[in-house]
Structure 1
Amino acid sequence: MNTEKIAFDIISLAGDAKAELQAALKLAHQGKFTEAQAQIDKATPQLQKAHELQTQELLTREANGEKLSFNVLISHAQDYLMTTYILKDMVIEIIQLYSIIKK
């Protein structure tokens, strides 16, 4: 798989996960915690798949000596994936706070 395809796949998966996480936050704001958790559960495999692509298709190949083309698209994909992981952590924390506040 070429690096551009990998980058687009990572961006797409992370983008889908980000949308699920944003939906989870909105649901939690409304006090719908079960539905919010379901949205987080939808985001998790998308992030895992993006991470697998990053690890197997980029990091492992390069560690094995393959020279991969590095470009802004790959940089963007890496950045988008990492910020979405951070968003997931923050959404989980914010939802826990909402659950305390809304008791």
Structure 2
Amino acid sequence: MDNEEVIMGIIVHGGNARSYAMRAMSAAKNLDFEEADELVESANEELNKAHRIQTDLIQAESRGDKTEVSLLMVHAQDHLMNAMSVRDVSLEIIDLNKKIKKLSGGN
């Protein structure tokens, strides 16, 4: 697989993770916590895939196989970090919605 294909893997999986996390927040706003939790799990799976690709690149570089740092690579790393941040925020939003529901008399 060439370098651009590897980088696109990070972008695709990061984008999928971000989308799942955004959908999880929407589900939590609608008090569908089962769906929200499932979507977060899907986001985590996508983040793990992207992270494995990133780890492979880091390990290859530590063995002396240099990876060209291109604008596409920078974009991929940015995409992954953004997805991780959105997932983290989604966990907080879901937790807050659960607490609000509980405090308002919901189970």
Give % identity: 36
**Structure 1 residue 89: deviation in Å?**
1.0
Question: CA offsets per residue over residues 4-39 of structure 1, 9 Å max, x none?
Answer: 111111100111111111110000001111110011
SS of the residue aligned with 1:5? helix
Structure showing greater radius of gyration is: 2
- Runs of 5+ in structure 1 lacking a partner? none
- Output the aligned Cα RMSD: 0.9
Find the counterpart in structure 1 of residue 69 from structure 2.
70
CA distance in 2, matches of 1:3, 1:38: 32
Gaps (5+ residues) in structure 2? 103-107
Deviation at 1:2, TM superposition (A): 2.2
Residue 85 of structure 2: aligned partner: 86
TM-score by length of 1: 0.94
How many pairs align? 102
**TM-score scaled by length of structure 2:** 0.91
